Amino acid sequence: MPRQQAWAADVTGGEPRLLGDIGCDKEECEDLQVSPDGKNVVWSAKKHLWIAPIDGKKKAEQLEELLGENDTPRWSPDGKRPLVHRRARVGDEEDDLSCAHDES
């Protein structure tokens, strides 16, 4: 499978900007979520949470190492922190957890 990458482009024109490698070789990990303010994009791949600025001025940054099976990341209600819902096994039971990371 070809390398999957995240790109951004202005609808009014200009050059596309490479935001980073998605870091996954499977079809289901390309679900990127743009922040409510339109400044950042977040995605999960290979047990990591990644964030990149839409303007392309900085490379994608790994925020967290994720444990368990993870769902598509979303943004906190205030739009400031990426969240990911994950299912982690605790003993014989499966536990639902939310993982957040401050951008600051």
Mean pLDDT score, 38-65: 85
- Of these ranges, 11-20, 46-55, 72-81, the one predicted with the greatest mean pLDDT is 11-20
User: Domain-by-domain residue ranges, the chain?
Assistant: 5-100
Average pLDDT over every residue of 54-64: 87
Residues 61-78: tens digit of each pLDDT: 888 766 666 667 888 888
pLDDT at 104: 44
pTM: 0.71
65's tokens: 């190492």
